[in-house]
């Protein structure tokens, strides 16, 4: 009986003691480094960290950079097409599988397979596929269509669209899985009641089922937007930001400034802008989720 009062306090503080090192290290290496990066963006750092405070000078230089505006434009193009194309294709695949077709499990696995690959593998594979010297263009020309060209990978005006193609190919299966889960959660009695009233299947999906998937649309939008903003490895593997810097995005711009051009302060400023953009998307989502639960 005397050991019981000692056991209860131990059960109270022992889990906290075990978790404390992980919590402290996570706090230091995540939020501590975020704060350090924020200060570097306000400093005169170049090749090495320099803690001389210069205010918003790095941000002024950043937004005066032509390459930064190219990166933002590319992010807008990539983000819009990547999110829109991934959601449309994923929704269509989910609707297809929702018809209880044969070999659904096999098709679902095939569609989900690209998501099991890393963006490095995806970028490398599509770099081979779209290479004019050994990929799609060469194969079609070997079939006898000598006038066929598909040189987007080396065309500065179209190279960013090759990144869109690879990104949609990778994400569509994941989006399909989210929408398919949402579709399978809808009560079949609603569909049957609409069919009794004479509504066609396309009209049922357009007027009843798809509007009921608004939470899934919102969650998918958040995930894809987050992936688009921090896209780095796919661009590096597929185009390496080229030709020139025609496919630069903020993440590759940040890496180039901080680690290859000796502009740590400028790279930190671009990283801070990226963080603020992600926060502007994620924080309202988290707030809405927490508010809904309450």
Number of structural domains in the chain: 1
Average pLDDT of the residues of the chain: 86
**CB neighbourhood size of 167 (10 A):** 28
- What's the per-residue H, E or C state across 119-176? HHHHHHHHHHHHCCCCCHHHHHHHCCCCCCCCCHHHCCCCHHHHHHHHHHHHHHHHHH
Closest by CA position to 136, among listed 151, 117, 119: 151
Q: Determine the straight-line distance between the first and last CA of the chain, rounded to whole angstroms.
A: 41
Distances (CA, A) of 232 to 3, 113, 258, 264, 285: 57, 21, 14, 18, 23
Domain membership of residue 187 (yes or no) is: yes
Domain membership of residue 51 (yes or no) is: no
Domain membership of residue 27 (yes or no) is: no
> Model confidence over 238-292: pLDDT tens digits?
998 888 889 999 999 999 998 888 899 999 999 999 989 888 887 877 777 667 6
**Residues 183 and 98: beta-carbon distance below 8 Å:** yes
Domain membership of residue 243 (yes or no) is: yes
Q: Is 166 exposed, middle or buried (0-12, 13-18, 19+ CB in 10 A)?
A: buried
Domain membership of residue 125 (yes or no) is: yes
Domain membership of residue 20 (yes or no) is: no
**Strand-pair partners of 43:** 53
Domain membership of residue 260 (yes or no) is: yes
**Domain limits for position 189:** 66-293
Q: What's residue 36's pLDDT?
A: 92
In this predicted structure, the answer to whether residue 1 has a pLDDT above a threshold of 70 is: no
State the residue for tokens 């996570």: 26
Q: Which of 69-83, 104-118, 177-191 has the highest mean pLDDT?
A: 69-83
**Residues 136 and 153: beta-carbon distance below 8 Å:** no
Q: Average pLDDT of 71-79?
A: 94
Cα separation of 261 and 202, whole Å?
55
Q: Residue 267 has which token pair?
A: 């790279």
> Model confidence over 198-219: pLDDT tens digits?
878 888 888 888 888 888 898 8
Q: What's residue 292's pLDDT?
A: 66
Domain membership of residue 267 (yes or no) is: yes
Q: What is the CA radius of gyration of the chain?
A: 25
CATH code of the domain containing 221: 1.10.3720.10
Q: Which of 98-102, 154-158, 251-255 has the least mean pLDDT?
A: 98-102
**Residues 195 and 207: beta-carbon distance below 8 Å:** no
pLDDT band at residue 135 using 50, 70 and 90 as cut-offs: confident
Q: What's residue 30's pLDDT?
A: 86
How much of the chain, in percent, has pLDDT values that exceed 70?
95
**CB neighbourhood size of 131 (10 A):** 16
Q: Which of 41-55, 183-197, 228-242, 243-257 has the least mean pLDDT?
A: 183-197
């Amino acid at each position: 009986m005397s050991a019981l009062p000692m056991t209860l306090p131990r059960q109270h503080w022992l889990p906290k003691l075990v978790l404390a090192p992980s919590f402290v290290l996570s706090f230091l290496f995540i939020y501590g480094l975020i704060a350090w990066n924020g200060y570097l963006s306000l400093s005169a750092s170049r090749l090495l960290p320099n803690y001389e405070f210069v205010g918003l000078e790095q941000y002024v230089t950043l937004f005066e950079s032509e390459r930064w505006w190219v990166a933002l434009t590319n992010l807008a193009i990539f983000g819009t097409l990547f999110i829109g194309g991934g959601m449309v294709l994923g929704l269509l695949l989910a609707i297809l599988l929702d018809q209880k077709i044969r070999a659904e499990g096999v098709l679902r696995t095939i569609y989900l397979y690209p998501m099991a690959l890393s963006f490095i593998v995806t970028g490398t594979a599509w770099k081979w596929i779209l290479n004019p010297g050994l990929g799609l263009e060469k194969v079609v020309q070997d079939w006898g269509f000598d006038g066929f060209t598909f040189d987007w990978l080396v065309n500065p005006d179209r190279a960013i669209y090759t990144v869109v193609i690879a990104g949609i190919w990778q994400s569509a299966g994941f989006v399909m899985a989210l929408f398919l889960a949402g579709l399978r959660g809808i009560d079949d009695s609603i569909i049957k009641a609409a069919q009794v009233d004479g509504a066609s299947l396309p009209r049922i999906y357009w007027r009843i089922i798809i509007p009921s998937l608004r939470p899934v649309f919102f969650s998918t939008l958040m995930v894809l937007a987050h992936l688009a903003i921090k896209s780095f490895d796919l661009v590096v593997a597929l185009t390496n930001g080229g030709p020139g810097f025609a496919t630069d995005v903020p993440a590759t711009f940040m890496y180039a400034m901080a680690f290859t051009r000796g502009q740590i302060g400028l790279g930190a400023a671009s990283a801070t802008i990226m963080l603020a953009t992600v926060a502007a998307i994620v924080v309202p989502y988290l707030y809405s989720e927490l508010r809904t639960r309450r």
